Amino acid sequence: MKLSSSNNKIWFTSDLHFGHKRIIEFCPNTRPYSSVEEMNDDIINKWNSSVEEKDIVFILGDVSFAKEDETNEYLSQLNGRKILITGNHDKGLNKRYFDQTYQSYAEAKIDGVDVIMCHYPIYEWNKMHYGSYHLYGHVHGKPVPFSGRHMDVGLDVNGYLFSWEEVHTKLQVQPIRQHGG
């Protein structure tokens, strides 16, 4: 898929974990909530304060732990055209809330840059030695033990979605990683 940020604003996130009570314990710095309902409402409000209806949002897995009807309600409230790259907790999601879905892995070219997306961090990704970007979630802001143009775009990195501009600004200055490096 080829995309241009001049046509649409592009966003990335992962690990929303709607309805997951224990994520508040696991990630207290980015989820300082007294209840799961407060967390769910805050995620929706932050999302909609940034994302407009015509924007594209890549969700790199782990959308919800809630029951299907609750998950559908959360998804129906979120602005933008949602593209899902599934994670380990995404079984049974209703695909009607997503413009596209991919099984664990997707590639896109955004403003001429190859972007490799997966729920999990990948040690070696396609075209990394040519400067491609690798975006992932799953690790909830914990560092990964390799270098290169990669980034955790999960909600627990900063509590917000990442714009393409933020991702590109950060990764374009990172060294290009060679195979085995």
Q: Are 137 and 61 in contact (CB under 8 A)?
A: yes
Tell me the mean pLDDT per 10 residues along the chain, length 181.
87 94 91 94 96 96 89 93 88 79 90 96 94 94 90 94 97 87 56
**Structure confidence at residue 105 (pLDDT):** 93
**Structure confidence at residue 181 (pLDDT):** 56
**Structure confidence at residue 98 (pLDDT):** 85
Sheet arrangement for strand 133-136: 2-3, 105-110, 113-118, 133-136, 150-152
**Structure confidence at residue 20 (pLDDT):** 93
Joined together, the tokens standing for residue 123 give 């040690």
**Structure confidence at residue 180 (pLDDT):** 66
Prediction pTM value: 0.93
**Structure confidence at residue 76 (pLDDT):** 92
DSSP reduced 3-state for 105: strand
User: In angstroms, rounded to a whole number, what is the distance separating the alpha carbons of residues 171 and 167?
Assistant: 6
